[in-house]
Amino acid sequence: MQPLSESTYLVLLALAKESLHGYGIIKKIEEYSGGEIVLAPGTLYGVLTNLQKQKLIELVTAEKESRQKKIYRLSEEGHHSFLQEYARIKKMLTISDDILKGEEKA
């Protein structure tokens, strides 16, 4: 699997534990990053469109027919992609820490 773009990863991350509408995703990432990461609306709209096409996210059924805000959640496949990417990033961090701490490989 190709590494996800940072913006795509952030959207999956925001949806990992709860369903959100578009702006809710921006807010959540902004809050958790202490205001440092603010996804722009055009970027988010593109990511949401792509993720829906790839069936990694889906609309929460109850909201689909109403004219209410669209609420998104991860599909099963989306959850899987997120976990895979999360593991990849974690591994990169572990490797980085090892190298920076100068641990020699036997």
Footprint on this chain of other proteins (rule: CB under 8 A): 5-7, 22-23, 26, 38-47, 67, 69-70
Closest separation between CB of residue 45 and other proteins, Å? 6
In total, the chain counts a number of residues equal to 106
φ and ψ of 90, to 5 deg: -60, -40
CA nearest 1: which of 94, 92, 82, 66? 82
List the Cα angle 104/105/106 in 5-degree steps: 110
Residue 10 token pair: 């952030």
Q: Is the dihedral of CA 96, 9, 77, 23 positive or negative?
A: positive
Q: Closer to other proteins at the Cβ: 25 or 74?
A: 25
Closest separation between CB of residue 26 and other proteins, Å? 6
Closest separation between CB of residue 67 and other proteins, Å? 8
Q: Closer to other proteins at the Cβ: 41 or 98?
A: 41
Q: Closer to other proteins at the Cβ: 9 or 82?
A: 9
Closest separation between CB of residue 46 and other proteins, Å? 5
